[in-house]
Amino acid sequence: MIMPRLFRNGLSLRLTGRFALVVVGIYVFAASLYSVQFLNRVEQGAGVAREQQIPLILSQNRNALKIERAASLIRSVYLAHDRRVERQIQLQLQTLTQSFTLDDNQLLIDGGRNIAADVKVITAQREAVRSLRSDTSGPADNGKIEQAEVAAAEAYQRAIRTTEALGDNLSNDAVKLADDLASTIERAARDVRFGWLFILILPAVFLVLVLWVVSRHILRPISVAVSRLEAREDTVARPVFEELRTVTDAVEAYSALSLDLKRTNEMLLVLSDQDGLTGLLNRRAFEQKLDNAFNRAMAARSDLCVLMIDLDHFKSINDTYGHEAGDACLREVARTSSSFFERHGLVVGRYGGEEFCGFVEGLDTDSTSGVAAVLRKAIEMLSVDVGSGKKIRLTASIGVSCLEGREVERAGVLLKEADAALYQAKHTGRNRVVVRAERDVFVFGATGNSLV
């Protein structure tokens, strides 16, 4: 009988209301404390990203550009054949490689030292060649001159391989950093959403419980007791949290940053597969695509043909008109070769220097020979403007090798055969197509579009 009296006197109602207010107060305080602490962690994470991770990504990008510059200088010092120019380029490379010591990256530092050492070998061997040729005391020692040239070429290849390895390492590191940062931001945004979803669900559940209690234990007895009175609804004020707006702004800001990082990641992936001068696939990306095409062809028992394309007398173009003119010629050849993708399915990449490589899936030897002949003719029709009213006409030699239903161990065999065919084209007059036929018999392309 005590509880009914407490309800009639309103004591239990007041106590229940006070208890509800205390619970609400505690909940609001806990939610606010949680929000502040969580946002502080988010802010600290943003500070780490801004002060450490993003600068590291930018540093990797800068170093990647330095590596591209180093590769260009290595090619320049190897092709210079002039003591003064070689010395100037060597000093530029030394300054560039010494700048790598500013980064805490031992691989980059060691690579820079190796590049500087190889360039030093190139210049030393070139100086030895000049000394041997200028020695008037007797006939020139052609054996020593050839040995010095070979040593310089080997040092050049080592330096180029070092720059390629460093470039791949930097690109992969930058992509990984961007992925890690994007993943961290996405996790933080997801935690914010789930945390605040949980915070907002509890009041909804509590409100439903309160409404059920009010409806069952308050409104029903009152409606029975005072059925003639008008029902009156009390509006409960709901608090508006400033933290909610802060979280929304933080989620939007982090979502925008995550999108930017994803775009940067996509750009880095493209750059890591692209040749900087021509925009074609670089050697690593091309060989990867060729391996995939080779696996498809072997699985489907279909044909696959590889083309090795080399510009004729390219060194004389660089020596006569300069490297900028040579670069313009390479870009024009790349543009012309790329146009064959939509028409013939020819995938082309820059293999190194003035050498390009391509492959065609699903075409037999005769059809691919025709494509190669048309490409050779298209290159021959180019007229590259190098300024001052001068135009350069180009020719190219092309070697072709096809599966032809053979059991070939790997794609590298086709590359090697196409390179051998290219060698035959070079040594039988240039500006022609040579096709590897069955039993290693070479069919030499005429200077026209037909094959004999």
Residues labelled catalytic: 354
Q: What's the one-letter identity of residue 447? A: T
How deeply is 222 buried, as exposed, middle or buried, from its count of CB atoms within 10 A (0-12, 13-18, 19+)?
Answer: middle
SS3 275: coil
Burial 257-295 (b: 16+ CB within 10 A, else e): bbeebeebbeebeebbbbbebbebbbbebbbebbeebbe
H/E stretch holding 282: none
SS3 311: strand
CA pair distance 283, 285, nearest whole angstrom? 6
Tokens of 288: 């990867």
Tokens of 399: 């070697």
Tokens of 235: 């509006």
Please answer whether residues 112 and 97 qualify as being in contact, where contact means their C-beta atoms are separated by less than 8 angstroms. yes
CA pair distance 202, 93, nearest whole angstrom? 65
Strands 391-393 vs 383-385: parallel, antiparallel or unpaired: antiparallel
How deeply is 330 buried, as exposed, middle or buried, from its count of CB atoms within 10 A (0-12, 13-18, 19+)?
Answer: buried
Q: What are phi and psi of 445, to 5 degrees?
A: -80, 140
CA 96 vs. chain centroid, Å, equals 23
Strands 304-311 vs 347-352: parallel, antiparallel or unpaired: unpaired
SS3 351: strand
User: Bridge partners of 350?
Assistant: 356
SS3 307: strand
Quick one: DSSP state of residue 228?
T
